[in-house]
Each structure stands twice: as structure tokens, then as C-alpha cells.
Amino acid sequence: MRTLLLLMICLALSGSAALAQDARKIMDAVYKQDTSRDATWRGTMDVYDKKGTLRRKKFTFRKLGGLGNSKTLVRFNDPAEVRGVGLLSLNERGVADRQWMYTPAIQRTRRIAAQERRQRFLGTDFTNEDMAERVLDDYTYKLLGEGEMVDGRKTYKIEARPVSPEKSQYAYVYLWVPVDVPYTVMAEMYDKNGQRQRVLKAGELVKISNIWVAKRVEMNTPTEGTKTILLLEDIRFNTGLKEDGFTQQALEKPDA
């Protein structure tokens, strides 16, 4: 599930970036801070529709490998309707992501096609574009200011513009990175008309195994009045996950 990939991007590490450098340097630090070889956590995802109705799902998340060469497996375990549903993603540099979904009710694994960028991912507030793994060079950066307070932290405000605008639903994105933590704690995505499409907030930053992680991530779609809140628990890094836990066979074993 790509939401989680994005989160992984956001869960940036490396502590030493808090100086007034240029924007690209700041973001480079954000991208590089996660040095983990693997990651595991349990998540709760709350999706609120415009009427405020809540749909909650629980899942476990496993990831092997780092940026640009990672494998993730997400397994849902609550509610009952989705129990056992698995998502496997393989990310490789230079190759389009490949994803599969397993549904236990019909015991089938099926390929998930590359979807339209602006499409919501499985009904969440994350679009497919938001979910895709990104690298530093996908954007150009500009430092807009310094000192704005977010969640009690002093931040840099950075404008990021996609290198290939035709490939993005967004014209530009504002990013807020604390001066003392290399982690994007807030992002606002704007479309071509300057309309604010989404607002991302990453809170409850903790440092685990020397890696910064936000335990609470919230994505808002102000134009539609919906939001998705992701809560992370039981976060562990480098527990020694194996390659064979990230295959189609593994995907088809709901209990694994």
C-alpha cells in the first residue's frame, strides 16, 4: 500500500540538518534520514468521509530495503471484511512500481495496474501520486522563509515544484521542515489554479533506533471535506526481515 511508502518518505531521519542551508540541502537531508534496512509497525487508518462517517482499518506493515529499492507488504486484520487482504509492492529504481493485492475470499492475487495520478488510493485521502515513492530529484526547491511555527517547532518553509509538471496533478507543494528535525511535518499541495488540494500533517515525532518517525499522519482534502488519519504503533527498525517474506507466495498466506 503506497500510502505507507509515502509515509516512509516522510519518516525522514538524520539529525544534523538544522542549519540555514539552501532548500535542496534541507530536503536532501529529509530524504536521507531513514537509514533503516527494514521496518515493521502496526497501523490504524481512519478515513472520514464528508459527512464525518469514520471507517477504521487496522493492518501491519513490513518493509525491506531503502529508498528506491524497497519491498513492502501490508496485511489488513480489521475489520472482518478486509481481514487477510494483503498488498505487496516492489519498488526498483528505474522500473515502474509493481503491486499486487491478495483477497482471501476468492483466494486470488491480482496485479494492481498503474493508476491515474489524481485517483484516490482505495478511498483514502491519498492519491495515487501521493503514494508513489519519490526521490529528491523529482522536484526543484526554493526556500520561502524560516521561522514559521508548526506544532511548536520552528520550521523552514520550502516550495517544491515538480520537474515534469505534466506528470503531476500538483503545480507546486509547500513543505514545512523543522529547523532541528529533518522531517516534513506539514505539506500543502496546490493544483494548477492555485487551489489548495491537500494538506498533510505529520505529528508526534519520535526517534526510534535513531530514525525520526511521525506516529500520527493526517491527510486532509479541504475541497471535499474528507480526511485520513494514520496512527503508527509498535514501530521497529532493522529486525532482520527476510526477502522471502515479500513474495507472491508470502502475500497469499494471510496468517504470515
Q: Which residues bind another protein (CB under 8 A)?
A: 47, 49-50, 55, 57, 76, 79, 81-82, 85, 101, 103-106, 108, 110-116, 118-120, 122-123, 224
Choice between 55 and 154, CB closer to another protein = 55
Min dist CB 220 to another protein, Å, is 15
Q: According to DSSP H, which parts of the chain are helical? A: 2-10, 23-32, 128-131, 248-251
Choice between 24 and 83, CB closer to another protein = 83
CA distances, 32 to each of 7, 26, 28, 66 (Å): 14, 10, 6, 10
Choice between 3 and 184, CB closer to another protein = 3
Min dist CB 113 to another protein, Å, is 5
Min dist CB 123 to another protein, Å, is 4
Choice between 223 and 238, CB closer to another protein = 223
List the one residue out of 7, 2, 62, 4 whose CA is nearest residue 183. Answer: 7
Min dist CB 149 to another protein, Å, is 34
Choice between 76 and 246, CB closer to another protein = 76
Choice between 23 and 45, CB closer to another protein = 45
Measure the CA–CA gap between 159 and 187, rounded to whole angstroms: 10
The 3-state secondary structure of 155-214, one letter per residue: EEEEEEEECCHHHCCCCEEEEEEECCCCCCCEEEEECCCCCEEEEEEEEEEEEECCEEEE
CA distances, 53 to each of 49, 50, 59, 234 (Å): 5, 7, 20, 27
Min dist CB 89 to another protein, Å, is 13
The DSSP H or E segment spanning 44 is strand 38-48
Min dist CB 111 to another protein, Å, is 7
Measure the CA–CA gap between 39 and 74, rounded to whole angstroms: 12
Measure the CA–CA gap between 36 and 53, rounded to whole angstroms: 36
